Every structure is written in C-alpha cells, then in structure tokens.
C-alpha cells in the first residue's frame, strides 16, 4: 500500500480506456469513495473533490490503466 504523504495536491487522474477491463477493483480499494464504476460502459468515474491522492487505485489496478498525478506542496 502506498502511504499518504502530507501536503499533497491531487492534480489529475488519467484512465487508459483501452486497458481498463471494468473490474471495479479501483472503486473497491478507494477508501474515499472517489471512484464509481459507470454502469453503462463500466469505466471508472473519478471525483477529484474526494480524492486524497493516495494512489491505491493505481497500485491495485491489474492492468495499470490508472495514473494518478499528485504534486508535493
């Protein structure tokens, strides 16, 4: 598990749609409920306001489809 760092600003969340298999692991591991899986196409939807930049979703995604960009303040 990647530890949360202090004073981190979440910048962006990039999803590589062609690599996502719609497994919803990212949504399951997000403790902030910042990811919901779209019921239409099964792609994850990210809520920047809830995201704390822990990058657990990125680490647990089996296909490396997620990249979370954070900036140290």
Residues in touch with ligand SF4 (CB under 6 A): 15, 20-26, 29-30, 32, 34-35, 44, 46, 51-57, 61-63, 65-66, 68
Q: Least distance in Å: CB of 7 to ligand SF4?
A: 15
Q: DSSP secondary-structure letter at 49?
A: T
The residue among 24 and 71 lying less far from ligand SF4, judged by its C-beta, is 24
Residue 5 host element (H or E): none
Question: In whole angstroms, what is the distance from residue 60 CA to residue 1 CA?
Answer: 9
Residue 73 near residue 8 (C-beta atoms within 8 A): yes
Q: Least distance in Å: CB of 40 to ligand SF4?
A: 14
């Amino acid at each position: 598990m990647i530890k949360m760092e202090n004073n981190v600003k979440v910048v962006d969340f990039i999803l590589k749609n062609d690599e996502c298999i719609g497994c919803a692991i990212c949504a399951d591991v997000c403790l902030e409920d910042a990811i919901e899986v779209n019921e239409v196409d099964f792609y994850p939807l990210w809520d920047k306001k809830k995201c704390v930049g822990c990058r657990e979703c990125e680490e647990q995604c089996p296909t490396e489809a997620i990249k979370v960009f954070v900036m140290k303040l």
